[in-house]
């Protein structure tokens, strides 16, 4: 049994997070919800940090992050050492950020994508493996950039 997925949203992504939770529930996919739990205004870096640290600590295997655009969440997530986050609204980027970048956080915009597309992207992200090979060298160089 693999580790659960970490979920987090700000108020702009709250409703999309709830829709994705229903989708994950229907598939029996385990997750930990780091909030937020309402549409009251909150600061996306706080939520991103909580979910991403669960990934880098090994408690969770990957993160799904939601804000209005997905962009703020991706900016915050990519500041956490060990996180490779991608903001996606198309399937090609979503698939290849797993294949080539070994992305471990998918960021979605609640004001950008509908629940149907978001759930498709989540499924694709979770099902697509990292290809390794020459891409591992590049991912290693991303990690090295964190240390300078």
| Catalytically active residues, by annotation | 67, 100
Q: Which is nearer to ligand RB5, 52 or 67 (CB)?
A: 67
Q: Which is nearer to ligand RB5, 12 or 62 (CB)?
A: 12
Question: What is the smallest separation between the CB atom of 12 and ligand RB5, expressed in angstroms?
Answer: 3
- CA distances in angstroms from 4 to 12, 47, 107, listed in the order given: 23, 17, 17
The site for ligand RB5 (CB under 6 A) is made up of 10, 12, 44, 67-69, 71-72
Question: What is the smallest separation between the CB atom of 75 and ligand RB5, expressed in angstroms?
Answer: 7
99, 131 contact by CB (below 8 A): yes
Question: What is the smallest separation between the CB atom of 10 and ligand RB5, expressed in angstroms?
Answer: 5
Question: What is the Cα gyration radius of the chain?
Answer: 14
Q: Which is nearer to ligand RB5, 71 or 117 (CB)?
A: 71
146, 83 contact by CB (below 8 A): no
């Amino acid at each position: 049994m693999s580790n659960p997925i970490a979920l987090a949203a700000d108020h702009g992504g709250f409703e999309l997070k709830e829709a994705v939770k229903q989708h994950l529930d229907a598939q029996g996919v385990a997750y930990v919800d780091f909030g937020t739990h309402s549409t009251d205004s909150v600061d996306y870096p706080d939520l991103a940090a909580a979910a991403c640290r669960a990934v880098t600590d090994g408690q969770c295997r990957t993160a799904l992050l939601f804000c209005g655009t997905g962009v703020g969440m991706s900016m915050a997530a990519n500041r956490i050492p060990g996180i490779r986050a991608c903001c996606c609204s198309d399937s090609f980027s979503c698939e290849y950020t797993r294949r080539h970048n070994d992305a471990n956080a998918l960021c979605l915009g609640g004001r950008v994508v509908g629940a149907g597309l978001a759930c498709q992207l989540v499924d694709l992200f979770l099902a697509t493996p990292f290809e390794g090979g020459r891409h591992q060298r590049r991912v290693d160089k991303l990690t090295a950039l964190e240390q300078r």
